[in-house]
Amino acid sequence: MPAIVRITDEATRARAKHWVNIAEPGVTVTFRKPSRTDDQNSKLWAMIGDIRKQKEKHGKDMAADVWKAVFMRACEHEVAFATGLDGEPFPIGFRSSQLSVSQMADLITFIIQWGDEVGIEWSKEAKA
């Protein structure tokens, strides 16, 4: 049975050590930095909503997920696009939920800078 432990204090650190000590051979243990926060996620989607309302790309309204992929690619995160049955591209293979707190902060900072340069008026939620 898979188990995930977020190390927040000495008790959870001890629990993780215990599970490592009793793990059978062949078990895989992965350590990763904390992923983005809920506040960061809310801010990202508010910002993308503001951009979507105020900007078109090549004369077309783009879906929020496409805008997110555009910004993630601009920040050198791995993204890919496929072509749908209607001939329109759509984003695949990206997950901002997998970004670390610092990676998400960098993405948000990039979007703010870009938005300020192109005259985006940020909503209260995007400024939070």
DSSP summary character for residue 87: S
**Opening angle at CA 96, ends 124 and 69, nearest 5:** 85
CATH superfamily of 35-127: NinB (1.10.3790.10)
Angstrom distance (rounded) from CA 63 to CA 61: 7
User: Tens digit of pLDDT for each residue in 9-65?
Assistant: 999 999 999 999 999 999 999 888 888 899 999 999 999 999 999 987 667 788 898
Q: What are phi and psi of 81, to 5 degrees?
A: -125, 145
Domain(s) of CATH 1.10.3790.10: residues in the chain = 35-127
What pairing do the DSSP bridges indicate for beta strands 89-92 and 80-83?
Answer: antiparallel
Q: Is the pTM of this model over 0.95?
A: no
Q: Tell how far CA 3 is from the center of its chain.
A: 23
Question: Looking at residue 26, what is its pLDDT?
Answer: 93
User: Tens digit of pLDDT for each residue in 97-111?
Assistant: 888 899 999 999 999
User: Tens digit of pLDDT for each residue in 58-111?
Assistant: 677 888 988 998 898 899 887 777 888 988 877 777 778 888 899 999 999 999
